[in-house]
Homo-oligomer: A and B are copies of this chain.
Amino acid sequence: MDQVTIENCDEKVQLLPAINDDYGGVVVELKEHMESDVFLTLLKTSMSQWTSQGKKGVWIKLPIHLVNLVETTVKEGFWYHHAERDYLMLVNWIPKTTSTIPLNASHRVGVGAIVLNDKREMLVVQEKSGFSRGTGIWKIPTGIVEVGEDISEGVVREVKEETGIDTEFIEVLAFRQCHKVFFGKSDLFFVCMMRPLSFDIQIQELEIEAAQWMPLEEVEAQPFAQKPDSLMNHIMKLCKAKVEKNYSGFTPHPVTSFLSDSPNYIYFNRKDLN
Q: Which residues of A contact B (CB under 8 A)?
A: 22-23, 64, 67-68, 70-71, 74-75, 79-89, 98, 100, 102-109, 129, 131, 144-151, 173-188, 206-207, 227, 229-231, 234, 237-238, 241, 245-250, 253-260, 262, 264-269, 272-273
Whether A260 pairs with B181 at a CB distance below 8 angstroms is: yes
Decide if the interface of chain A is mainly helix, strand, loop or mixed. Answer: mixed
Known contacts A87-B80, A269-B269: A179-B70 contact under CB 8 Å: no
Number of copies of this chain that the complex holds: 2
> Which residue of the partner chain, among B68, B148, B183, contacts A179 with CB atoms under 8 Å?
B148
Whether A107 pairs with B104 at a CB distance below 8 angstroms is: no
CA distance A248 to B197 in the complex (A): 30
CA distance A64 to B187 in the complex (A): 26
Report the minimum CB–CB distance from A158 to chain B (whole Å): 13
Known contacts A86-B80, A177-B264: A107-B188 contact under CB 8 Å: yes
Whether B107 pairs with A106 at a CB distance below 8 angstroms is: yes
- Which residues of chain B come closer than 8 Å to A250, judged between CB atoms? 174-175, 250
Q: Please name the residue on chain B nearest to A147 by beta carbon.
A: B106
Interface-central residue, A68, A241, A257, by most chain B CB under 10 Å: A257
Report the minimum CB–CB distance from A184 to chain B (whole Å): 7
